[in-house]
Amino acid sequence: MIEFRNVSKSYTTGQEAVHNASFNIEKGEFAFLVGSSGSGKSTLIKLILKEEEPTSGNIIINGKDITFLKPSRIPYLRRSMGIVFQDFRLLPDKTVYDNVAFAMHVVRATPKHIRRQVPMVLAQVGLGDKAKVYPNELSGGEQQRVALARAIVNNPSMLIADEPTGNLDPNTAWDIMGILNDINLRGTTVVVATHAKEIVDQMKKRVIRIDKGNIVRDEKGGYDSEV
């Protein structure tokens, strides 16, 4: 599903953000990417999303080597991914319904499919009664739920979440993680980059820890555990 083979990423400044990283996230897995600020985990996310190019090594997504993917093919790659960010990135002048529907318009879904799919996905994230509301009328947690709905409305094979609870209070953060877990249980591969130690400790999922660009741990357990 997502495979890194000896991937390194260096910038023109000489900084090596990722060094010789190798891991394989299988279809249907739930994995946390953890590490301190500047450790390299955001670069890993950008490499998966093809926002950054590796300096060396190979990246395989859904069985295809995307290392040398033509720029014109990148939008099609991203259609297989749902993407959620810390800052929600909603369209302020569109309703909740239209924010989610927009992702379906991009892939040229039929109006009939949009009318059927959007309410179903809003109900899945607990916002079935918020379709006509605008983002500025929602709490932070509700805005992140809209972002999640938008990310999964096209049934992506994987969901990539970069600090999805970073702007949320603890209780709301747990609500969001519960939704991510439910999405995973439906078969979607989920990768979450996070600083949220308590969440990682309690969820007991796979943890890939990066430190100074190096993968230093890859196993199930808590944020810091060695078991």
Cα(191)–Cα(207) distance, integer angstroms: 10
pTM (predicted TM-score): 0.92
% the chain with pLDDT above 70: 99
Tokens of 154: 């096209």
Cα(189)–Cα(111) distance, integer angstroms: 27
pLDDT digit string (tens) for 202-227? 999 999 999 999 999 999 877 875 43
pLDDT digit string (tens) for 43-82? 999 999 999 999 999 999 999 999 989 999 999 899 899 9
Given this model, what pLDDT does residue 224 score?
Answer: 76
Count how many Cα atoms sit within 13 Å of the Cα of residue 91 in the half-sphere of its side chain. Answer: 12
Query: Strands, E, within 72-175: which ranges?
Result: 81-85, 158-162
pLDDT digit string (tens) for 181-202? 999 999 999 999 998 899 999 9
pLDDT digit string (tens) for 23-36? 999 999 999 999 98
Contacts of 84 (CB under 8 A, 6+ apart): 144, 147, 148, 151, 159, 160, 161, 162, 164
Phi then psi for 107, rounded to 5 degrees? -95, 10
Query: Using alpha carbons only, what angle is made at residue 63 by residues 16 and 66, rounded to the nearest 5 degrees?
Result: 40
Given this model, what pLDDT does residue 225 score?
Answer: 59
Cα(136)–Cα(91) distance, integer angstroms: 10
Confidence of residue 106 (pLDDT cuts 50, 70, 90): very high
Nearest to 21 by CA among 37, 34, 40: 40
Phi then psi for 225, rounded to 5 degrees? -65, 155
Given this model, what pLDDT does residue 222 score?
Answer: 78
Q: What amino acid is encoded at 98 in this protein?
A: D
Q: Is 206 helix (H, G, I), strand (E, B) or coil?
A: strand
Cα(186)–Cα(205) distance, integer angstroms: 16
Tokens of 176: 């969001």
Q: Which residue has 């985990």 as its token pair?
A: 41
Phi then psi for 189, rounded to 5 degrees? -70, 130
Under a CB-based contact definition with an 8 Å cutoff, are residues 177 and 148 in contact?
A: no
pLDDT digit string (tens) for 6-28? 999 999 888 899 999 999 999 99
Nearest to 181 by CA among 148, 221, 209: 148
